[in-house]
Structure 1
C-alpha cells in the first residue's frame, strides 16, 4: 500500500527554485522563470515541454488550496526513447519573489500479470505522452486535455508517495514501486470521452480553462488547427460545484451550452472572463517565432493583437482575485510563466489621426468627465490630443496623448452622469447597430438598448455600465 499525501505536503517539499524574470506581453503584472542549474535545468531542457496552466484560484474561489497559493503547469515528454509521459510542476507561489516547486509524475493505474495493483506512465492511444495542452483545477480534481480523446481527470485526494530512486516505473520484483526517480505520483481517476452527433467533426480538446466568473461555473475548450478549412471551435460545458465534475443532462451526457466557430488558427490556450473570450496563438516562419492574443465576445468578431506575447505561448488561466490572466511560453531558453492584468486587455488604441465612433465617444467622455469643452466631431486632432494629455496628467497617467487601456479604464464611469458621458454611451450603442438618439439622458430607449447589448455580449442585462460593458462598447 503506497502512502497517500496531501498536496500541501508536496508543495512544502519543493526541491527546485524558480526566479522572477522579465518577459514581453501586454500589461504584465507578474512573471517568473524556471530553474536553470546543471542537472536540473527546466528553463532550457528539450526533454520536457510545458503546456497547460492552472492555479489554486481555479481550485477554490479563495485563491488557496489546503492553505497554499499554487500555480500548476503540465509538461510532456519530448525526448524520445522510453516515454516518461507527463508531469505536473506544483509551484508554491506564496512568495512571488521566491517561487519554489516540485514535479509530480502523472500515472495510469493498471494491474500487473498477477492481478496486483500497479501503474505506468501516462500515454495516449498511440502510446505516446499526452500532449496536455490545457488543464484546470476544480477542488480536488485536476483536468488535463487529451487532444483526440477528451479529458483525463486526476484526484488530488489520492496523491501517492513513491520515493522512487530507479529510472524505471511501476511495481518491481521486490514489491517496491518506482517512478523514474520522482518522489510523488498522481494517478488518473477517470476520463471523459468527447463525442459529436450528426455530421459534425470530432472536437479536438487542445486547450481548456475553468470559468468561475459567469452566473454558473463552466469550462471552455478550444481547438488547435492550422488550416482555414479546419474547424476552430470554442465550446462551453457546464460544471457542477457540488461534485466538481462536468454537469450531465438527463440523458447522462454532458452537453455543450455554447459553441462558436472562431476562425482563429493555431490556438494554444483559451479562457473566458465575464463573457469575454481570449485565445493565445502561435505562428512561426523559417526565421522568426510569434505569439499573439485574440479577444472576442459572443456578439463581436475576434480582434487579434499581433506579436504581443512571447514566442510559443501556451494555455491560459484567469485568477479572479488578482485580475490576472496567466500563461506561459514553452520555448527552451526563453520560458516564462507570466500574468497579464486582464482589465487592461482588449481595449482599442485611439490616437492622432483616428476617426469614427470611438473618437466621438472619447470626446464626449473628455467633456463629461473632465470638462474638456471639445467640439465633438469624431476626429482626433490637436485639441483632442491636448485634452487627453490633460486628463492623463490629472489622473497620474503617462501623458502621451494616446487613449489606450489605462486611459479608457480611468475615463469610463461606472455611474454615467447625464450629459456628454451619456452621449458617449449612446454613440457606441448606435455604432453597434442599436440606434440610440444622443439625448444625454438615460431614457427608456437607452436603458433597453444597453441591456440588450449586454446580454448579446455574454453579460447580465442589468443596465449597469461597468468596465466590461464599456470595453465591449468601445471595441
Structure 2
C-alpha cells in the first residue's frame, strides 16, 4: 500500500504546531516604503466577467504506458517515496533574520508576511524561480504521511543540445526553525522507458494533489500540463551534468533524485495555455484553476477543471471515456501582467507583475461584482505585493497563502489579504 493509501483523507484537525504562527516579519524601511510615484495604480481592473466555456479550453489526457514506466523502474531500481527525499535533505534555507536587505525588499509590503525564508544564492545561481505547492495541496489535513512539505520549482535554460532543465526543491518543513531540502529533477521517459530526458519547461504553475504533481509545460511538444507520480521518485546513481542513462548508471544533472512524468494534458492549436495553476478545495469536487499569463496591455482568461473523484484516478483531472477534460467555468480579467491565480469560494486572487513605474506588483481580489487590493501606507496606492510575483498556493489546514519572489519564500494568512483589501471598483460605479 502506498503512503497515500495509508493516509487517504484522514483529517487530523490540528494546527501546524506554530509553523506559521508568530509575529509579522519586520521589514526594513527600504523594503516597506514605496513612493507615491511608484505605487499609484491608475489602471485598476474592474470586476471579473464570466464568459462561455468553449472547446478551446478542453484538454486531452495522454498517459505514459505502464510498461514504459515499469521498464524505467526496473532499470533504475525500486522507486522511493517523498520521505526518502526529505531525509536526504543536505541544503538549508535561511531564516528571514539571515536574509539580506535586498532579499527582504522582494517581499510584499502589505499585508506583511508572517514567515519568510531565503534560498542560497550559490545553490540557485543561474536558475529561475517559479511555482510553489505544498502538502497543504496534497491532502486536506496539510501533511503528507507525517511530514509537512513545501515544493519549490526552478528552471534554467540550457545549451542547444539539451534545451534546459526543470527541478523541484523538496523542502522538509517539519521544523519551522530549520528548513532543509533536496533537489529532484523533473524528467520525461523516452525510448519506451529505456531512458529519460530532462523536462524543458519553466515551472510557472504547479499543484501537488493526492499522489500526483501537475506542472505547467512550455517545452514545445504541445503539452499544456505534465503529470508526475510521487510514488515513482527514482534515485540518481551517477553525480554528473548529464541527464539520463550514462556509463555506470543514471545521471540527473547533479540532482540526487529523478521524477519521471507519467502523463500529459494537451490543448488544441490556438488554445490559451494554463501558465499558472492552483488548487481549490472549496468546490465539489476539488478543482484545478488556471490562468494565462499576459503582458501589460492585455486581458487574461481564468478557468477551472474538475479533479477526478474516482478511486483509480487519484490526482488526475476528471476525463470522459475518450480522455477529454472539459473546463467547468471561465472568466475574463482585465488584470495585466498576470502571474499567479488562486480561487476560494466566490473570490479569485490574481497576482500582477510590477508596471513600468512600479517597484512591486499587486495582489488583486476579484469577483463578479468588483475588484479590491491592499493599500500601501494608508493611501490610494496598490502596488503592495512582491517584487517578482509568482504562483499562489493556499494551505487550507492553516489558512495561509504561500508564494515566492526572487530568492524569497513567504506566507501569510489569506484572511489578512482579505482584511487589507478595500473594494473600490465595481460594475455598479461604471468601472
Do 2:301 and 2:330's aligned partners in 1 also have CA atoms closer than 8 Å? yes
Structure 2 regions of 5+ residues with no counterpart? Answer: 1-74, 97-103, 375-381
Question: Which range moved further: 11-20 or 338-347?
Answer: 338-347
* Aligned counterpart for 1:77 among listed residues 153, 156, 159: 156
Alignment correspondent of 1:202: 271
Alignment correspondent of 1:413: none
* Alignment length (residue pairs): 328
Alignment correspondent of 1:138: 209
Do 2:212 and 2:230's aligned partners in 1 also have CA atoms closer than 8 Å? yes
Distance in 1 (CA, whole Å) between partners of 2:223 and 2:335 is: 22
* Aligned counterpart for 1:240 among listed residues 308, 321, 329: 308
Do 1:71 and 1:91's aligned partners in 2 also have CA atoms closer than 8 Å? yes
Distance in 1 (CA, whole Å) between partners of 2:115 and 2:344 is: 19
How far did 1:20 drift? Answer: 1.9
Q: How does 1:333-352 map to 2 (within 5 A)?
A: 335-347=407-419
Structure 1 residues 305-341: Cα deviation after superposition (integer angstroms, max 9, x where no partner): 42212211101000011110111012xxxx2111121
Q: How does 1:383-462 map to 2 (within 5 A)?
A: none
Alignment correspondent of 1:41: 123
How far did 1:288 drift? Answer: 5.7
How far did 1:348 drift? Answer: 6.2
Alignment correspondent of 1:314: 390
Please state whether the residue corresponding to 2:418 is helix, strand or coil: coil
The 1:304–1:343 alpha-carbon spacing in structure 2 relative to 1, beyond 3 Å, is: closer
How far did 1:97 drift? Answer: 1.5
Q: Does 1:164 align with 2:238?
A: yes
Do 1:27 and 1:345's aligned partners in 2 also have CA atoms closer than 8 Å? no
How far did 1:15 drift? Answer: 1.0
How far did 1:181 drift? Answer: 1.9
Alignment correspondent of 1:88: 168
Alignment correspondent of 1:12: 87
How far did 1:164 drift? Answer: 2.3
Distance in 2 (CA, whole Å) between partners of 1:240 and 1:116 is: 27
Q: Does 1:325 align with 2:325?
A: no
Please state whether the residue corresponding to 2:397 is helix, strand or coil: helix
Structure 1 regions of 5+ residues with no counterpart? Answer: 124-129, 351-356, 359-430, 434-475
Alignment correspondent of 1:293: 363
How far did 1:80 drift? Answer: 5.1
Structure with greater proportional helix content: 1
Distance in 2 (CA, whole Å) between partners of 1:102 and 1:251 is: 38
Distance in 2 (CA, whole Å) between partners of 1:207 and 1:263 is: 16
How far did 1:24 drift? Answer: 3.1
Structure possessing the higher radius of gyration over alpha carbons: 1
Do 1:29 and 1:324's aligned partners in 2 also have CA atoms closer than 8 Å? no
The structure with higher relative contact order (CA 8 Å, sep 6+) is 2
How far did 1:166 drift? Answer: 1.9
Alignment correspondent of 2:133: 54
Aligned CA RMSD, in angstroms, stands at 2.5
Q: Does 1:24 align with 2:95?
A: no
Alignment correspondent of 2:295: 226
Structure 1 residues 26-53: Cα deviation after superposition (integer angstroms, max 9, x where no partner): 14222111124xxx433xx2x1011111
Alignment correspondent of 1:215: 284
Distance in 2 (CA, whole Å) between partners of 1:236 and 1:102 is: 32
Distance in 2 (CA, whole Å) between partners of 1:329 and 1:220 is: 21
TM-score where L is the length of structure 1: 0.64
Structure 1 residues 411-443: Cα deviation after superposition (integer angstroms, max 9, x where no partner): xxxxxxxxxxxxxxxxxxxx998xxxxxxxxxx
The 1:192–1:79 alpha-carbon spacing in structure 2 relative to 1, beyond 3 Å, is: closer
Distance in 2 (CA, whole Å) between partners of 1:24 and 1:278 is: 15
Distance in 2 (CA, whole Å) between partners of 1:317 and 1:280 is: 12
Do 1:77 and 1:84's aligned partners in 2 also have CA atoms closer than 8 Å? yes
How far did 1:120 drift? Answer: 1.2
The 1:48–1:63 alpha-carbon spacing in structure 2 relative to 1, beyond 3 Å, is: same
Do 2:154 and 2:168's aligned partners in 1 also have CA atoms closer than 8 Å? yes
TM-score where L is the length of structure 2: 0.71
Do 1:89 and 1:104's aligned partners in 2 also have CA atoms closer than 8 Å? yes
How far did 1:84 drift? Answer: 4.0
